[in-house]
Amino acid sequence: MPNSFKLNLLYRPRRLRRTAGLRALVEDTVLRPENLIAPLFVVDGKGRPEPVPSMPGVFRYSIADLVKECRLLSGLGVRAVALFPKLDSALKDAEGTAALSPDALVLRAVGAVKKAVPEMTVATDIALDPYTVHGHDGVLTPDGSDVDNDRTVEILCSMAVLHARAGVDLVAPSDMMDGRIGAIRRSLDAAGREQTAIMAYTAKYASAYYGPFRDAVGSAKAAGTRSLDKRTYQLNPANRREALIEVKLDEAEGADIIMVKPAGLYLDIIRMVRTATKKPVAAYQVSGEYSQIHAAARLGWLDLELCRMESLIAIKRAGADMILTYFAKDVAAELRR
């Protein structure tokens, strides 16, 4: 029996949801492969890629395989990578001295990628956690109770200059020491590297979602725990306004890109930062965010493809111009279908 009931509506929002074509016309958040930065892990040697057990589909690559992966990403439209080294434990010490070796693994990796895929934008992590036996992002005070801010910054400045000379496009200080952006900018300029940009980890929170990453770079093993306490330098997850203080400082000190990390649980922070700055905003969808989506999908509780795409759209919608994500390759391939 036909339904004779009819609402007298002037506005029917569903009109523009009726077909895929109409929905595409009015879509206000668009994700492109060019918006993605692929974090990649590199190890010394010539072996096959090593799977990271806590991060399905993520590998540690030899330099040769890293180059292959960068070529593949470039072909999919991903134009930027962020490199993270995993060092042999024998190279680690309390001072992270391997970070300043002119033959450091990450420097050789940068050179290989820029030679083979010159169009690829390369960012490198400026912090000491992959290089220290204690797993902290800097050197410790004499009593070992905290990270020594100023001594760490001095080391990071030298590290950033080495990376710039190796050819990186972006140095990305993730350490959260006070004053390090300004000090690194001055050091880069003094070394004639005015064109090397700084992607600052501006609002990096002391999150419980970093565990798989620490496995991947070996800092968890060095520290003996995934939940290494970094609360004296990373932001309190309960605080919003603190992020704005960091934004103001990093802008004043010369940051070119402002980053929020993690991303998915901090969409309110991304939106707040986007409103507060005219600088480009990056967001890092961290290892724990990636792994929990994979874990739920493996149990059949979530659809992997739909959830990974929705998670990235949410980050972009919140205001991120670029997203560091371990989904970069798969999502870029999906976007190009």
DSSP-derived 3-state class of residue 31: coil
- Report the catalytic residues: 204, 261
Residue 36's DSSP bridge partners are 323
pLDDT by residue (tens digit) across 167-224? 999 999 999 999 999 999 999 999 999 999 999 999 999 999 999 999 999 886 544 5
Residues 40-71: tens digit of each pLDDT: 999 999 989 999 999 999 999 999 999 999 99
Tell me how far apart the alpha carbons of residues 158 and 188 are, in angstroms, rounded to a whole number: 9
User: DSSP state, 176?
Assistant: -
Tell me the pLDDT tens digit for each residue of 4-19.
899 999 999 999 999 9
Distance CA 124, CA 115 (A): 16
pLDDT at site 218: 87
Residue matched to tokens 């290089």: 131
Residues 283-302 pLDDT 10s: 999 999 999 999 999 999 99
30-335 to CATH, choices 3.20.20.70, 3.40.50.300, 3.40.50.410, 3.30.1330.60: 3.20.20.70
Give pLDDT, residue 226. 53
pLDDT band at residue 333 under the 50/70/90 scheme: very high
Segment 111-161, tens digit of pLDDT: 999 999 999 999 999 999 999 999 999 999 999 999 999 999 999 999 999
Which pLDDT value is given to residue 224? 52
Compute and round to an integer the Cα radius of gyration of the chain.
Answer: 21
The residues, ordered by sequence, that sit 6+ positions from 4 with a Cβ below 8 Å of its Cβ are: none
Largest CA distance in the chain: 84
Q: What is the pLDDT of residue 241?
A: 97
CA distance 109 to 167: 10
Residue 3 confidence (pLDDT)? 77
CA distance to 130, 173, 200, 282, 314, per residue, from 272 (Å) = 31, 21, 17, 13, 14
What does pTM read for this prediction?
Answer: 0.96
Backbone angles phi, psi at 125, to 5 degrees: -75, 130
List residues bridging with 257 in a β-sheet.
199
Cα(257)–Cα(320) distance, integer angstroms:
11
Give the domain ranges of the chain.
30-335
What confidence tens digit (pLDDT) does each residue in 218-256 have? 886 544 555 589 999 999 999 999 999 999 999 999 999
